[in-house]
Structure 1
Amino acid sequence: MKRISTVFGKSHQYYKQLGKQYSNGAFLPGCEFTPSTYKGASYEAIVKSRECLVMATQKPFYKKPVLLHEGRAQWLWDHEGRRYLDMFGGIATVSVGHCHPKVVTALSEQSYKLGHTTAIYYHPRYHEYAEKLTSTLPSELKCVYLTNSGSEATELAIQLARLYTGRTQIVALKNCYHGGTGIAAATTAMACYKYPLPTLPGHIHVTNPDVYLGPWGGSNCRDSPVQPGNRRCDCLPNKCEAEDKYFEEFQSIYKSLIPFDGKIAAFTAESIQGVGGTVQYPRGYLKRVYEQVRKAGGLCIADEVQTGFGRTGEHFWGFEGHGVRPDIVVMAKGIGNGYPLGAVVTTLPVAQALSKALYFNTFGGNPVGCAVGSAVLDVIEEENLQENARIVGTRIIEALAELQGEFPDVVGDVRGKGLMIGVELVADAETREPLPADQVAQIFEDIKDAGVLIGKGGVNGNVFRIKPPLCVTKEDGEYTVDALRSALKKHRESRRF
């Protein structure tokens, strides 16, 4: 991998004096931007404030949490001037890069012109943005409702489905994450996000079609550059046995869990599970489920909160990779590049069901949010970021697969598409038992110390999540894999003693 001899015109020795910023002895890829000097509260004051004033559930990453100060493109700087390669993008939220000039300009100019008005008045930004957003979707999906978050968008989508169908049952997959509020939390099926409170009724969860951890799956089941290396399948050409088995499991809910006429309001699924650990399904699974749901009069909801806006590379929307057309699309995160924005897009008949009462959001569709969302769409197109996600993401996935070959005893699976990538760590490659939390935490810490920020996910917290801004380069990807390699080598050495 190419090494950069200087960073910001500073020597290697300068950065070593900062406290061994790069524990693997390598330099981060170059960056021309010079951050400002941090002049805020001390680290100690921030820690104390966090402990006293912020709810304890908002737990930061790392043994010594990072205090971030400034960001540009794929880069972040902490309060001491250390530079980090952001390979998590604020949980797949920073889509076009931190503080992108075009997005910042759109936000600033609109703020000076008209900062806020609600949907009780017309303003041109909403309608301009709605046209631009829906032009990326199938022609039937033309009705937009803008929200402030993905959780709110999920709530609205489910409410729409129930109002339109006149039914209540929502079917989702185990291991899914659709949000943390009310209905969205009830739809979510991960124990770590469940409080010891009564769950709202009307939610059914079916077997998750996970071809790596699930009961069925093999070496050619998912739409990814790499397949589960330690699982072989006996599938016939163009016929996936895992797909058949998981679909049979889905059909069984009609015999055991759906009351009365066997009809449901909706089925909802992420195109690739995000918080659940970048889990991909058998190639034809969603298409068959959509067909089954529609036969029973239900609607199909695509959760594109993490997979939308070009992140999967091959397509602008994750559901396109499954060959399906949803009735409702839920989106957030990358839609606003970090600005609090979400959306529900659906057909006109479904949208009209919301007219049975008043539904109102004070901030949804505000002029600034619309200007930001519009600028994000422009940048994705102008800078060809979807194609960049495909090219760079594929190379990262392939390089991680090579890394798995070097560390087969701990890297159980590498998966994903575009810049939606997961690396599952295991204690036993055959049983796929998850690597203990303390060991995962140390590897995670060592990657951070090498100057790379990634995420964690999965029900056991043993899946590294790589979901960077779409502007990352091949060199960034190479450095990321190198940082993982160094951390895994250190882990291997520690286990020898």
Structure 2
Amino acid sequence: MYLGPEGVIAKKEEYFVPCINHFYQNPPEFVKGEMQYLYDSTGKKYLDFYAGVSVMNCGHSNPAIINPVMNQIQNLQHVCNIYLTENGVNLAEQLAAVTPGQLKRTFFVNSGTEANEGALLMAQLYTGAHEFIALDLGLHGRTQLTMSLTGIGMWRTTDTPNGGIHFAKNPYFYRDGRHEEHQSQEAFEDECIADVERVIRRRTSGKIAAMIVEPIQGNAGIVTPTPGYFKKLKALLEKHGILLIVDEVQTGFGRSGKMFAIENFGVVPDIMTVAKALGNGFPIGAYITTDEIAAAFTRPSASTLGGNPVSTAAGMAVLTYLQEAKLLENAQARGAQLQAGLKELQKRHALIGDVRGLGLMVGAELVTSREALTPAATEVDEILEKMKDRGILVGKNGENRNVLAMQPPLVITEEDVVFFLQNLDEVLSEVAN
């Protein structure tokens, strides 16, 4: 017997910190998952097109992931990483084999926030510098430092952010780059690179430890640069001796059609952070760097639960399944199908102002006026509710909360995408009328 939505909400309102909200005016209570599907307390089936915000890349309750984890729990659940166990070192070895360039040394934690916090510390230790640069509309965590590096006002809940942090223009071409008629996205991105140089020159002491970026800005609204953007950015940072930290918390492990999204841009970061899909629902995060940079961190440190035997068992199973089930290839194929379908819908539905993304990280920005780019946030909420009623879960993001976020499990099929597009087509017509 389940509590049901009303019972869960009642306990949530009494016992949770009130900052924790939920999607939907009439939310379901989810009680079961099976690959790309979820089931609520009434038995209703849903196609999950959000994957717990890019977490369940390998699907819900996938036996290939949970069976090794169950076996691990029955044998050894926890001893802390101050003791010797195999899973952590084996997963670190596997990560070194799939990460780009010379990234090799891993420090395991429990979340993306912790991974970013650790990466920032690593950069300070290596460079001896203490200032940071971030991009407008980036989101990097919920601790004091990572929140201070977050460029979205609604997620900066502290009114006393850390100092020594500077923000540069992000490559959000659809909303910010079309002020000059016929300007190309590449030309706008050159302006963004120039803005980073302006920040370095005018806003900082010149002692900058690192710049932290997401290869695709998820919470910003799936903001996706052109292929040359990060090469230009990395060259600029190297000129000034600034490390590049790439936050792959949302984009990692096949989401973009590559193992890591930064690989789409031909750039190797100095430090990379991961979490979410690495555990496929089990809590794990990590930052990964080179031998040279890691050598600066020698004072004692540990993480009580970071890299525990259970979560690292999940991580190894994820890496194996991604490759054996060819999920990167499926993300490319289904992502191309999804974007093509959305662009066809864009021709018929004026609400869709822009479609962007890579692989199965796709955003559709909704506007009530394509000329004024007026955010259609109310319409997005209505679409999410109607799609949920039809048994499809979609996300939303963007500074104005007007971007439909499509980040499904990478196990979805061609038929799933057709089903999604058909229903979205009908719902867009309903909302417009």
TM-score range, shorter chain: over 0.9
How has the CA–CA distance of structure 1 residues 58 and 288 changed in structure 2, closer, same or farther, with 3 Å as cutoff? same
Structural mapping, 1:41-440, within 5 Å: 41-216=3-178, 232-233=182-183, 240-259=186-205, 262-313=206-257, 315-355=258-298, 357-407=299-349, 409-435=350-376, 437-440=377-380
Alpha-carbon distance, 1:42 to partner: 3.8
Alpha-carbon distance, 1:412 to partner: 0.5
SS of residue paired to 1:135: helix
Distance 2:110 2:273 in 1: 12
Alpha-carbon distance, 1:358 to partner: 2.6
Alpha-carbon distance, 1:263 to partner: 3.7
Deviations 1:215-237 (A, max 9, x none): 3599xxxxxxxxxxxx84468xx
TM-score computed with the length of structure 2 as normaliser: 0.97
Distance 1:43 1:144 in 2: 40
SS of residue paired to 1:369: helix
SS of residue paired to 2:176: coil
Structure 1 residue identity aligned to 2:323:
E
Deviations 1:370-408 (A, max 9, x none): 11100001110110000000001110011001000111x
Distance 2:302 2:415 in 1: 46
Contact persistence 1:62–1:445 (CA under 8 A): yes
Deviations 1:90-148 (A, max 9, x none): 00100100001011111110111111011111111111111111100134111011110
Distance 1:336 1:48 in 2: 30
Q: Determine which structure has the larger helix proportion and give its number.
A: 2
Deviates more, 1:40-49 or 1:86-95: 40-49
Within the candidate set 371, 394, 400, 1:460 is matched to: 400
Distance 1:474 1:232 in 2: 36
Contact persistence 2:334–2:414 (CA under 8 A): yes
Alpha-carbon distance, 1:354 to partner: 2.0
Identity of aligned residues (%): 36
Which residue of structure 2 aligns with residue 447 of structure 1?
387
Contact persistence 2:130–2:207 (CA under 8 A): no
SS of residue paired to 1:265: strand
How has the CA–CA distance of structure 1 residues 310 and 69 changed in structure 2, closer, same or farther, with 3 Å as cutoff? same
Number of residue equivalences: 433
Distance 2:370 2:284 in 1: 41
Alpha-carbon distance, 1:244 to partner: 2.0
Structure 2 residue identity aligned to 1:124:
E
Tell me, which stretches of 5 or more residues in structure 1 are unaligned?
1-38, 219-230
Structure 1 runs, 4 residues or longer, greater than 6 Å off: none
Structure 1 residue identity aligned to 2:232:
R
Distance 2:383 2:66 in 1: 35
Distance 2:408 2:125 in 1: 37
TM-score computed with the length of structure 1 as normaliser: 0.85
Task: Tell me how large the CA RMSD over aligned residues is.
Answer: 1.5
SS of residue paired to 2:82: coil
How has the CA–CA distance of structure 1 residues 159 and 234 changed in structure 2, closer, same or farther, with 3 Å as cutoff? closer
Contact persistence 1:216–1:245 (CA under 8 A): no
Structure 1 residue identity aligned to 2:242:
G
Contact persistence 1:400–1:481 (CA under 8 A): yes
